[in-house]
Amino acid sequence: MKIGIACDHGGYNLKKKMTKFLNKKGYTVIDYGTDSLDSVDYPDFAFKLGEEVVNKNVDMGIAICKTGIGMSIACNKVKGARCAKLDTIKDAKYAKEHNNANIIAINNKKTLFKTKLIIKKFINTEFSNVNRHKNRIDIISGYENEH
């Protein structure tokens, strides 16, 4: 599995740790920046990550910033991206199982242990394929196509 990862300056240190963790687990990680603690505009990195996921250059994306909120909002501006801001393991399960999210946004405030658990749960959860969930995703996609 190829995982895209992107961050702003607030998520840089966690991105480095998560990249190392995911590589050790056997995943290929494609880094879309940023590459320092210097202040940057997070939308630039979120848009790039979203485009790479939607274009299927990577299988999923991880966006990291101080809160996870800004990166999530920006990723979701990319047509076809379904970015979920995750705070709990349960969020990770439902983001994939019910919403078939293809990008997750996380903040840099959690422990490294909890962050790893959230990411592992998301990766290891399958979309349910239940009709009501597929229907809701289709409604969202239809709205994107109309606007």
Residues facing 83 on adjacent strands: 103
What number is the average pLDDT over the span 86-95?
98
Domain over 2-146 is classified CATH 3.40.1400.10: yes
Q: Please give the pLDDT value at position 109.
A: 93
- State how far the Cα of 41 lies from the Cα of 20, in Å rounded to an integer: 24
Is pLDDT at 141 greater than 90 in this prediction?
no
Domain locations along the chain? 2-146
Is pLDDT at 22 greater than 90 in this prediction?
yes
Q: Please give the pLDDT value at position 138.
A: 85
Cα 49 from chain centre: 8
- Taking Cα atoms as reference points, which of 46, 92, 53 lies closest to residue 69? 46
Is pLDDT at 28 greater than 90 in this prediction?
yes
Q: Would you say the pTM of this structure is higher than 0.85?
A: yes
Handedness of CA 143, 121, 41, 59 (dihedral sign): negative
pLDDT band at 21 (very low <50, low <70, confident <90, very high): very high
Q: Please give the pLDDT value at position 52.
A: 98
Catalytic residue among 7, 75, 83, 98: 98
With H, G, I as helix, E, B as strand and everything else as coil, classify residue 30.
strand
pLDDT band at 137 (very low <50, low <70, confident <90, very high): confident
98 carries an active-site annotation: yes
With H, G, I as helix, E, B as strand and everything else as coil, classify residue 99.
coil
Is pLDDT at 60 greater than 80 in this prediction?
yes
Q: Please give the pLDDT value at position 55.
A: 98
Catalytic residue among 7, 9, 65, 75: 65
Mean pLDDT rounded to a whole number for the chain: 95
Residues with Cβ within 8 Å of 109's Cβ and at least 6 positions away in sequence, in order, are: 66, 67
Q: Would you say how long the chain is, in residues?
A: 147
133 carries an active-site annotation: no
